[in-house]
Structure 1
Amino acid sequence: MSTSNRKTKVALLSICSNTVLIILKIMAGLLSGSVSIISEAIHSSMDLVASLVAFTAVRKSSKPADRDHPYGHGKIENLSGIVEGILIFIAAGLIVFEAVKKMFEPIEIEQAWVAIAVMTVAALVNFFVSKTIYKVAKEEDSMALEADALHLKTDVYTSLGVGIGILLIKLTDFMILDSIVAILVALLIVKEAWSLCYNALEYLMDIRLSDEEEQEIKGVIEKVKDKNAQQLIDYHKLKTRKSGNVRHIDFHITVDPSLTVKEAHDIVGCLKKELCDALKNTRVSVHIDPYNGQENNDELDDHETI
């Protein structure tokens, strides 16, 4: 199965599971009159929209580079992360509004055991679906799917929290617990939304790759340098960034000035192959500098581009 088909299938799984759970939660909320279950239905509705955003993002991001987008369409996934985060903020606001309103007008919970059963089923379904999506997200390095899995993982905790809250109401008759649980759900959702938006924005602003990945890149370059010690003098001005699931690596190398164009090109080809073998979904750009007898500074100058 191709990468794009695999990503699309798990995104569809999220859409289907969210649709079924929304229907169940709305029915349970209407039967019980519980604001915390209604808040969960709102949360799942936003999750459904987020799943649709993720589905669109993984389809669009898999399109090959074209004339207008020579670096590909990978950043659509990063943009979808921000959209999903904003949707979660909206869901949290709606939940708090409903919870505060019900706090002053508490309603007795009806059909409590049905409501608890629905929340338990929702938690179990989302646990297995989020686990599946997260596995594919990590294997395919997809931010859109990772964000979707995080939505569903949060839904596991919130569904369990609502179920436990209703159980406590049933045991204690303390009706305000329903609104308190709903507000706690909203706070957890806000934390998730902030994390999603922050990470997505960092990649849109071309933050460098992690220290671990850059150390791996340097290790590969050093290995090639050791194999070509007389020809490859050094490397410098390393820059990295990520667009969707594609890593972009740019750097300069200094070579023996007596090398032919073909010999220098072969060294560049070896570097690209080794880096692409070591890091999945990687594009490498290498600039060749002739050795002039001086040490090169590995730091980028203030306004310099490669």
Structure 2
Amino acid sequence: MRRGGRAVVAGWASRVRHLLVPHSHDSADKTDAALESSSRGLRVLGISFAVLTVTAIAQAVIVVMSGSVALLGDTLHNFADALTAVPLAVAFLLGRRAATRRFTYGYGRAEDLAGIVIVVIIAVSAGLAGYEALRRLIDPHDVEALGWVAVAALAGFAGNEWVARYRIRVGRQIGSAALVADGLHARTDGFTSLAVLAGAAGAALGYPIADPVVGLLITIAICFVLRDAAREIYHRLMDAVDPQLVTRAEEILAEVGGVRRVASLRLRWVGHTLRAEADIVLDPELTLVQAHAVAVQAEHRLIHDLPRLRAATVHTDPDGPEGTDHHAVLVSHR
């Protein structure tokens, strides 16, 4: 018993309504919630872009004054971090578009594509920083204006840590893996900014090689961020979910009156919202109307009790008679 078919005869507007809210709740509530999530994401991106751009420009001026390759690596990474806001903003805007007959789940997966772009940007910044550090090791130069380099390093740490906390907090609240990955990227930028202080201190003590060495260490740190961000995006592209979410959804369904057991459950992310498909087993003596009512209640509980779940499809199976296979005709197709 699948509920999706009920919306077909109502036309295109009804299909969009059913996609967003597959039972009796007002579709405007779910649409507003999705739009609010996208709006919060766009707000975070705009503010963090401004903060990181100002920070990176200030650092770039000091790079020209000092010639510090460690600060150059940090500056390049800050510029890269600011630029990651662009594909994410495009993804959030696309995600607000209505579903179509071709993109029947909407455009939420654009966030995952943005995550790929972010990973590429991080990789490019790591390559540039590493190249400049190696070049300076081969052809060393004295670092000047060490006091300003230290100030730039502290400014870089402060700006990145603030942006990291902001992005990670909101990203987790709205369920955006790309925004969380971007926040982790910014957090490591902050620690690499502190590493620039070590390079400046070494140069001040008469060890100019400390600057390019720190530049290489920063490159290694960026590579660790690259690994973590790539893993996060890979999981999302492969429809991975936290197993605890699956367990919680099964518990919710098991608590619904009339549900004997949960036969199967599937969850997937579409952008920063979850969708669910569940098969529940019911008393075979229930009428069609009664079984439908249990399915509606199960869907209702899932949507309300599972964070960030926006839609669920619930299929009901009869628990018996014993020895009866109600899906025998489908065996060859599974």
Does the alignment reach a TM-score above 0.5? yes
1:213 equivalenced with 2:245 (yes/no): yes
Separation in 2, partners of 1:296, 1:130 = 56
Q: 2:306 aligns with which of 273, 276, 279?
A: 279
What does residue 320 of structure 2 align with?
A: 292
1:114-157 deviation digits (Å, cap 9, x = unpaired): 11101101211221222122211111111222122112111110
* Aligned-residue offset at 1:110: 0.7
CA RMSD between the two structures = 2.1
Q: Which 10-residue stretch deviates more, 56-65 or 159-168?
A: 56-65
* Aligned-residue offset at 1:239: 2.0
Separation in 2, partners of 1:3, 1:203 = 18
What does residue 192 of structure 1 align with?
A: 225
Separation in 1, partners of 2:137, 2:119 = 27
Separation in 2, partners of 1:291, 1:34 = 72
* Aligned-residue offset at 1:304: 5.8
What does residue 109 of structure 1 align with?
A: 143
Conservation of the 8 A alpha-carbon contact between 2:261 and 2:280: yes
Number of aligned residue pairs: give it.
Answer: 295
When the two structures are superposed, what TM-score results if normalisation uses the length of structure 1? 0.90
Q: What is the identity, as a one-letter code, of the residue corresponding to 1:210?
A: D
Change (3 A) 1:303 1:35: farther
Q: 2:72 aligns with which of 30, 38, 53?
A: 38
What does residue 25 of structure 2 align with?
A: none
Q: 1:261 aligns with which of 288, 300, 305?
A: 288
1:146 equivalenced with 2:180 (yes/no): yes
Separation in 1, partners of 2:138, 2:214 = 15
Unpaired runs of 5+ in structure 1?
none
* Aligned-residue offset at 1:48: 2.0
Q: What is the identity, as a one-letter code, of the residue corresponding to 2:308?
A: N
Change (3 A) 1:50 1:256: same
Separation in 2, partners of 1:101, 1:274 = 60
When the two structures are superposed, what TM-score results if normalisation uses the length of structure 2? 0.83
Change (3 A) 1:129 1:199: closer
Query: Following TM superposition, where does structure 1 have runs of at least 4 consecutive aligned residues deviating by more than 3 angstroms?
Result: 294-297, 301-305
Conservation of the 8 A alpha-carbon contact between 2:164 and 2:183: yes
What does residue 236 of structure 1 align with?
A: 263
Separation in 2, partners of 1:87, 1:68 = 30
What does residue 27 of structure 1 align with?
A: 61
Conservation of the 8 A alpha-carbon contact between 1:58 and 1:144: no
Q: What is the identity, as a one-letter code, of the residue corresponding to 1:241?
A: R
Conservation of the 8 A alpha-carbon contact between 1:254 and 1:288: yes
Conservation of the 8 A alpha-carbon contact between 1:31 and 1:111: yes
Separation in 1, partners of 2:198, 2:134 = 20
Q: What is the identity, as a one-letter code, of the residue corresponding to 1:183?
A: L
Q: Which 10-residue stretch deviates more, 62-71 or 161-170?
A: 62-71
What percentage of residue pairs aligned between the two structures are identical? Answer: 25
